[in-house]
Structure 1
Amino acid sequence: MNQNLNLKQQLRCIYTSDFFSGLRITDAVWVALLAARGFSLWEIGLAESVYHIVSLFCEVPSGMAADLLGRRKTLLSGGVLTVTCNLLMAFAPNLFTICLAMGLNALAMTMFSGTFTALVYDSLKTEGREDEYIQVSANSSQISMLANAVGSLASLLKRFLGFAGFYLLSAAFEGVSTAALALMEEPIVTKAQASRGRQTLRALPGQFTKLARNSLSILRTTPLAAKLIVSSAVVSVPSYLTKMFLQQRLIELGWPTELLFLPLLLGGAACVLGAEVGRRVRFRSMRRFYSVCALLCGVGTLLVGLAPAWGGLFGMMLVQGALEVYLLHERQKLNDAIPSDQRATLISVDSMAYSLLMIPASPLVGALGDAFGQAGAGLAALGAAILASGLAAGLFASNKP
């Protein structure tokens, strides 16, 4: 039961939200700013771990809420939380407050991760155009990454903005993004989605239980979905950690904080290029495709950890570009494999699996950096692990009859 939805207007709102939420001006400097305030790499890794602990516990419930109560409402709630997180971070006096802000940011991001993808896919499905998802997703990714690259230039304004200034400006950008979300329509493609407004509060616990059972049943009976979820979690681990700890590596190598925009600028360019390659690439075996992308990500992570500054920058670009290519196709195949009524929930499981790996990975990478006196030590170990997963997938695919 598909609705008549103004898809052009919907996509304009999606792309506008992508742009302003993509202006994540704090991403380029937050590690260096916290380190400059006296926090150790282990403490910074702990704050990142708090983010992923909250993500782990809230990822699936937020996806279930989106499926039962509506994707648009969930996205708007996430936007308000993101603005709140930035305001709290701007005036954080200690590590506890920083961890609290990171937790709120994680809660907000869980409201976006599966929900945004589900809304985009089902918006296309209302018009019978879900086969265009890779193209729309690539456009969305490129807009977001271009905005992220522009936002990274804000590190040049460090002497003018200061720690609080970065987060206040970020809050303003997130406010505009949330306003764009408010102009979107809720896509309706099933009877269950059409009846959301008639649900009573008393019926919600039962609906949550039913949704959980149905989602577990889909994972048990759809092996492809489970394999895609695991593969994306493993190969995604270096994505943020390479950018996060490359900042500190560059500081160790003598780079000034004002130049820390360069990693995110180049990383954003690599993602844009990866999305362009991803929309054109074709392959026969998803397992072999994973093997190639994991090998590239592993090599890139090793370069970030061990190579000189420019080699590390190239390695980070390799990770971002290869991962973008893989995730474009992984998301399309996962969306195709799951039903609309459980879409946000199951895509949230995809994100939860990533958080489950990041909870130990983030502080361990930081702890190895502290132990060896250089931020690249942990990244070298992580790169070796990702390489091993790619080799294992390639050997399994070669031996399969």
Structure 2
Amino acid sequence: MAAMLRLLRSAGPPMLFRFSLYGFLKNLRFFDAFLVLALRERGLDFLAIGTLVAIREVTVLVLEVPSGALADALGRKRCMVASMVGYIASGLLLGLSSNVWLLGLAMVAYGFGDAFRSGTHKAMILAWLRQQGRLDERTRIYGYTRSWSQFGSAISALAGGGLLLAGTGYRSMFLASSFVATLNLINLATYPNELDGARPAKGQMIGGTYRQLMATIRSVVRQGSLRTLLISGVAVRSGYKVAKDYLQPVLQALALSVPLALDWEPEQRIGVIVGVVSAALFLLSSYASRQAHRYERHYGDPDRGARALILQHAVAFAVLGAALALGLVWPAIALFIVLAIGQNLWRPVQVGRLGLAGPEDQIATVLSIESQMAAFFAACMAPAVGWLVDLVADGRTPVPLTALAPVALLGLPLLVGLGRMRPPSPGRVTP
């Protein structure tokens, strides 16, 4: 950990270090690369797991826009601290309980954490960039901080695999994640107050929050270009939010089929394979985030770059479905990695586009609306795809690779996003 902190300090100005530290600690959720496998160990089928995912996403759906408006109206630091409290509670419940109702409550706490942090921290970064006169660096800076999030995910996957290898089981991952969330709560609570943004006077907080929310919704409804940005963002994010967890049973199938350490317990072999492959995926994603500004510059126009990424995602989902249907494990893993890299090119480009198109004092709420819309479609798709996987698997455990082919249906929203984005006219460059 000390070596990681020294490396993070090379990020540059103190706040850039703090932003990067937040992302690094946030993604030290040691169970992320193993969540589906941990729930399967407790006897849950894919429909039940999809329902738990839907509970998490519905919680985000309900809280996302109010949380963004609260962040803009009441103070972003408070909302970020509340987010960490949600993650702490979620990790404790997931680690200590097998009761399905308590697991559902854990997902509510998880969704609460996601809702209160998603657009809020990005708004704090954008506020800092404006204060520093560096707003033109928004894609590069956000890509840099996001790369540290992905680096944290890589370390998290390796550490989670190490816990399985040591024989501590899946539960220890959840409890360790709660401890890290506590460290991040301390980091966020000590952010400078000037990143909170303008806040209404006492007694006007509820009214200020409501007015903030209504003003942002009016901006989205009236501004066609902003609506298109939101729809394209939802198309890219929603399917992947559900699809990424299906990499875990693919890696489980690989771990149980390769002649690796045959004297080990299956759980230990799964820990090594899932940990190593997931860590490689997140390291590649970290690199992709850092290169997002170069990707954007390559196309000469953020909209052209965004359209290319949507098309690439759609093709990757289609080919992934074919690979799973044919039982081709290595191509399927490679395509999951391609999708992850695409996501980490997309987010810095998309945040930069929204930062330009959205009103300055409503940016957290605009980002929250995007996350809310993505949560809605993810909540609809997760149980449906889980049910289809169970139907094809017909009770077989571990689930055969061919039964995962319905995951390709999660790419369908991309066709809507692609249809909404007309190719920019030649020579046009977005300011």
Please report the TM-score for the alignment, with normalisation by the length of structure 2.
Answer: 0.83
Deviation of residue 163 (structure 1)?
2.6
* Partner SS for 1:161: coil
Task: Tell me which residue corresponds to 1:289.
Answer: 305
Distance in 2, matches of 1:172 and 1:188, equals: 26
Go from structure 1 to structure 2 and tell me whether the alpha carbon gap of 1:303 and 1:247 turns closer, same or farther (over 3 Å shift): farther
Go from structure 1 to structure 2 and tell me whether the alpha carbon gap of 1:81 and 1:340 turns closer, same or farther (over 3 Å shift): same
Task: Tell me which residue corresponds to 2:37.
Answer: 32
Q: What pairs with 1:1-400 in structure 2 (closer than 5 Å)?
A: 8-153=13-158, 154-158=160-164, 159-187=166-194, 193=198, 195-196=199-200, 198-200=201-203, 203-253=204-254, 254=256, 256-258=269-271, 259-281=273-295, 282=297, 283-284=299-300, 286-307=302-323, 308-373=328-393, 374-383=402-411, 385=412, 388-389=415-416, 392=419, 396-397=422-423
Distance in 1, matches of 2:388 and 2:171, equals: 30
* Partner SS for 1:160: coil
Task: Tell me which residue corresponds to 1:4.
Answer: none
Go from structure 1 to structure 2 and tell me whether the alpha carbon gap of 1:23 and 1:205 turns closer, same or farther (over 3 Å shift): closer
Mean CA deviation greater in 264-273 or 23-32: 264-273
Contact 1:71 / 1:186 at 8 angstroms: preserved in 2? no
Deviation of residue 398 (structure 1)?
8.1
Go from structure 1 to structure 2 and tell me whether the alpha carbon gap of 1:223 and 1:393 turns closer, same or farther (over 3 Å shift): closer
Distance in 1, matches of 2:275 and 2:81, equals: 29
Tell me the alpha carbon deviations over residues 120-173 of structure 1, each in whole angstroms, 9 at most, x when there is no partner: 100111122211221211111111101101110122321532232111111111
What code does the residue aligned with 2:270 have? Answer: T
Tell me the alpha carbon deviations over residues 238-288 of structure 1, each in whole angstroms, 9 at most, x when there is no partner: 333332012113334535421212442232123123213312122355554
Contact 2:53 / 2:382 at 8 angstroms: preserved in 1? yes
Go from structure 1 to structure 2 and tell me whether the alpha carbon gap of 1:24 and 1:135 turns closer, same or farther (over 3 Å shift): same
Mean CA deviation greater in 79-88 or 108-117: 79-88
Percent identity between the two aligned chains:
22
* Partner SS for 2:86: helix
Go from structure 1 to structure 2 and tell me whether the alpha carbon gap of 1:304 and 1:157 turns closer, same or farther (over 3 Å shift): farther
Contact 2:76 / 2:196 at 8 angstroms: preserved in 1? no
Distance in 2, matches of 1:305 and 1:23, equals: 30
Aligned length, in residue pairs: 387
Contact 1:302 / 1:379 at 8 angstroms: preserved in 2? no
Distance in 1, matches of 2:226 and 2:413, equals: 21
* Partner SS for 1:329: helix
Deviation of residue 207 (structure 1)?
1.7
Deviation of residue 90 (structure 1)?
0.9
Deviation of residue 54 (structure 1)?
0.5
Distance in 1, matches of 2:362 and 2:45, equals: 41
Deviation of residue 381 (structure 1)?
2.3
Deviation of residue 324 (structure 1)?
1.8
Distance in 1, matches of 2:82 and 2:43, equals: 34
Go from structure 1 to structure 2 and tell me whether the alpha carbon gap of 1:238 and 1:206 turns closer, same or farther (over 3 Å shift): closer
Distance in 1, matches of 2:417 and 2:118, equals: 25
Task: Tell me which residue corresponds to 2:7.
Answer: none
Structure 1: stretches of 5+ with no match in the other structure: 1-6
* Partner SS for 1:28: helix
Deviation of residue 391 (structure 1)?
5.9
Aligned-residue Cα RMSD (Å) equals 2.4
Contact 2:72 / 2:196 at 8 angstroms: preserved in 1? no
Go from structure 1 to structure 2 and tell me whether the alpha carbon gap of 1:324 and 1:67 turns closer, same or farther (over 3 Å shift): same
Structure 2: stretches of 5+ with no match in the other structure: 1-11, 258-268, 394-401
* Partner SS for 2:132: coil
* Partner SS for 2:79: helix
* Partner SS for 2:171: helix
Deviation of residue 82 (structure 1)?
1.1
Distance in 1, matches of 2:196 and 2:49, equals: 43
What code does the residue aligned with 2:341 have? Answer: G
Contact 2:232 / 2:417 at 8 angstroms: preserved in 1? no
Mean CA deviation greater in 179-188 or 61-70: 179-188
Deviation of residue 204 (structure 1)?
2.6
Contact 2:311 / 2:418 at 8 angstroms: preserved in 1? yes
Go from structure 1 to structure 2 and tell me whether the alpha carbon gap of 1:273 and 1:171 turns closer, same or farther (over 3 Å shift): same
Contact 1:67 / 1:342 at 8 angstroms: preserved in 2? yes
Distance in 2, matches of 1:116 and 1:211, equals: 18
